[in-house]
Structure 1
Amino acid sequence: MQGIKHIIFDLGGVILNIDYRLTSQAFKDLGAQNFDELYNQFHANSLFEDLETGRVTNGDFLASIKEHLPEGTTDEQIVHAWNAMLLDFPVARLQLLQQLRNHYDLFLLSNTNAIHLEALNKQLERERGIPSLASFFDRSYYSNLIGYRKPEKESYQVILDENGLKPEHTLFIDDTLPNIDGAKALGIQTIHLQAPKTILDIFRKG
């Protein structure tokens, strides 16, 4: 951590526990028996990328998914299945963020979408009485709002530029290797967080 003044955190798998398999199973329970193939297909035709960069609306996304589900499936059922992967915010990680803010500038950089973002903030308020993730960071950057996804260089560059950060004084923590490589390409210091390690292990003294 020598020389580090600013830390950029990923969200899912770093601060928030997630399990993609739960969303896969939830869609299969709705009748999409080929959801894993469908998910890959939608990645190939950019539906999910467009959702995560704000290029398609929630309504268009839900309509596209609905075409592959039994007639009568509601938007609410789809949203519930889509959010199934979102688990919990371990309180120790949130406490760590609060402590780190006394020593570093903290930023959040997440590939996410409007549906998940709304659910996450509602969950945080319901479980912890905290209105939004913004409470833990100097600034938060979400792909659906900035129009870029990791590992696109622009997603990191916007944080550096808007906040006057020098890459060599900036640490980026993510659990996905391509995202780590994207940050490294700009000279940002990185830590590839791999389970079972958590951010608590990174900052544990001694």
Structure 2
Amino acid sequence: MTTIDTIIFDLGGVLIDWNPRYLYRKIFKTEEEITWFFENICTLDWNDQQDAGRSFAEATEELVLQYPEHEVPIRAWYGRWQETITGSIPDTVSILRQLKEQQRHRLYALTNWSAESFPWALENFDFLHWFEGIVVSGTEKTRKPFPDIYQILFNRYNVDPARALFIDDNYKNIVGARAVGLQAIHFQSPAELRRALAELGVAL
């Protein structure tokens, strides 16, 4: 087993509790209405374009023009985006803290996040400053699972993918990470993450 010297964390869904349903439960009456809206109006593919650098304003106006009858919930996506985040995921932050205190691994973050809203995260989550570096998709104008964003992190921070471990809750990003030579853990819960780290020889 290759010794792991670098651990790379995703943020939303791993360390930060982000879920658009938190906001849209205040707007729609049922989960079914929310699901329909996400599948047909504010879709994941649409949101991905903002993560890859498109501006909130351009994305919103394009969708409002296309679906004027849904203007209010469309504008809420970015007008009230802070309501999609409830805080941190404390047990995962605890794992990150232990890794930081051990000083056995280099720690980085690789996140699909808009460049417009990420400064807010930096101001509100102190643990983001524990990383040696963070690669933000919206700043780089590309996103996971495309290979170029992983390569940006490798090149910028001199990371050897064969000695690095990546953690993400989105399985597509896990597939992308493995394709560029990273070992990867598909995040399900903090408890399962602890077990998976132990299996890879990362003792906490």
Using structure 2 for the length normalisation, give the TM-score: 0.76
Segment drifting more, 112-121 vs 67-76 = 67-76
Question: C-alpha root-mean-square deviation of aligned residues, in Å?
Answer: 3.4
Match of 1:179 among 173, 176, 185: 173
TM-superposed CA distance for 1:34, in Å, is 5.6
Match of 2:138 among 144, 155, 173: 144
Task: Name 2:105's counterpart in structure 1.
Answer: 104
Asked if residue 25 in structure 1 is aligned to residue 28 in structure 2, the reply is no
Asked if residue 192 in structure 1 is aligned to residue 186 in structure 2, the reply is yes
Deviation readout 1:58-100 (Å, 9 max, x if unpaired): 2223324545466995998553543332121144533432332
- Distance verdict in 2 for CA 1:195–1:71, change over 3 Å: closer
- Distance verdict in 2 for CA 1:34–1:119, change over 3 Å: farther
Q: Distance in 2 between matches of 1:77 and 1:177?
A: 27
Segment drifting more, 8-17 vs 189-198 = 189-198
- Distance verdict in 2 for CA 1:188–1:69, change over 3 Å: same
- Distance verdict in 2 for CA 1:89–1:200, change over 3 Å: farther
Task: Name 1:49's counterpart in structure 2.
Answer: 48
Unaligned residue ranges in structure 1 (runs of 5+): 125-129
Q: Distance in 2 between matches of 1:45 and 1:21?
A: 13
Q: Distance in 2 between matches of 1:74 and 1:42?
A: 9
How many equivalent residue pairs?
Answer: 195
Contact 2:112/2:144 (<8 A) preserved: yes
Identity percentage of aligned residues: 23
Using structure 1 for the length normalisation, give the TM-score: 0.75
Contact 1:109/1:142 (<8 A) preserved: yes
Asked if residue 93 in structure 1 is aligned to residue 92 in structure 2, the reply is yes
Asked if residue 59 in structure 1 is aligned to residue 57 in structure 2, the reply is yes
Unaligned residue ranges in structure 2 (runs of 5+): none
Segment drifting more, 37-46 vs 97-106 = 37-46
Contact 2:51/2:112 (<8 A) preserved: yes
TM-superposed CA distance for 1:162, in Å, is 1.6
- Distance verdict in 2 for CA 1:88–1:26, change over 3 Å: same
Output the amino acid matched with 2:138. N
Output the amino acid matched with 1:123. N
Output the amino acid matched with 1:20. P
Q: Distance in 2 between matches of 1:119 and 1:26?
A: 22
Q: Distance in 1 between matches of 2:193 and 2:75?
A: 34
Task: Name 1:16's counterpart in structure 2.
Answer: 16
- Distance verdict in 2 for CA 1:3–1:197, change over 3 Å: same
SS for the counterpart of 1:84 is: helix
TM-superposed CA distance for 1:15, in Å, is 0.8
- Distance verdict in 2 for CA 1:115–1:35, change over 3 Å: farther
- Distance verdict in 2 for CA 1:27–1:52, change over 3 Å: farther
